[in-house]
Every structure is written in structure tokens, then in C-alpha cells.
Amino acid sequence: MILDIWNSFQRLPLWVRIWMCVVLAPINMVPLFFIGSHPSAMWIALLSVMGMLVNLPILIRERGFSASLSFPHLIFWVPLVVILLTRPPFLEGATGAYASVLSVLLIVNIISLGFDFREAIKWLCGARHIA
């Protein structure tokens, strides 16, 4: 099973693998380091990480990468982006490194959601193959 998932990952375009491993996953894990340092940090970290964590059972069930992996991102990262865009009082007092992380997290997840909406539509229209 792990080999199937790895092989599926290797069949993804190189730019997708780089995006996932160098940009997307790391920035969505960084909020974990700020838990306890700001009142919003727990919720930001929870939404960030759950968007990825919920994909593990899907990867295991499908034994690889498919467009269905976009749905957990939509479920958890749309609210995250909405919070980051519309709730400045929730984030009030975010300064320094935490404020920078939130800015990068917002930009990266907006970009990712652009891909995810497209992938979700493809999956709903029947494109359910595994890479």
C-alpha cells in the first residue's frame, strides 16, 4: 500500500510534487509552532493541519492520489481563508513571525484552493482515476 501511494505520488507532475512538499505542506504545518503564542493560533493550526490530515484515509483507501483529495482542502481551508480575510479582530495582535506566517498561509491556500475547486469539479464529473 505505501509503495502504491509512493508510486502514485511519483506519477504526479514534478511541479505538483514540488508545490506539495516544498510549499503547501510546510506552510500548513508551521501554525503548529505558534499554538499558545496567540489566541487564534490553535484554530488556525487546526484548520491548516486538518486539511491535510483528513487526506490520509483517502490516500490509503484509494492507494494513491486522485482528485478526491481536494475535498478535505475545501472543507477546512475555505473557512481558514475566510477567517484570514474577514476576521481581523480574531487575528488582532498577530505580529512578527506569526503575522508573516498568516500572510503566506493565506496566499498559498488561496492558490491551492484554485487548484482544488478545479479538481473537485473534475472528480464530480467522473474523473476518478488514481495517478
User: Tell me: the pLDDT tens digits for 73-104?
Assistant: 999 999 999 999 987 756 677 778 888 899 99
Q: Is the pTM for the entire model greater than 0.85? A: yes
- Report the 10 Å Cβ neighbour count for 131: 17
Cβ 68 vs Cβ 61: under 8 Å: no
User: Tell me: the pLDDT tens digits for 28-49?
Assistant: 999 999 998 888 889 999 999 9
Pairwise CA distance, residues 66 & 130, whole Å:
5
Q: List 56's β-bridge partners, or say none.
A: none
Cβ 12 vs Cβ 24: under 8 Å: no
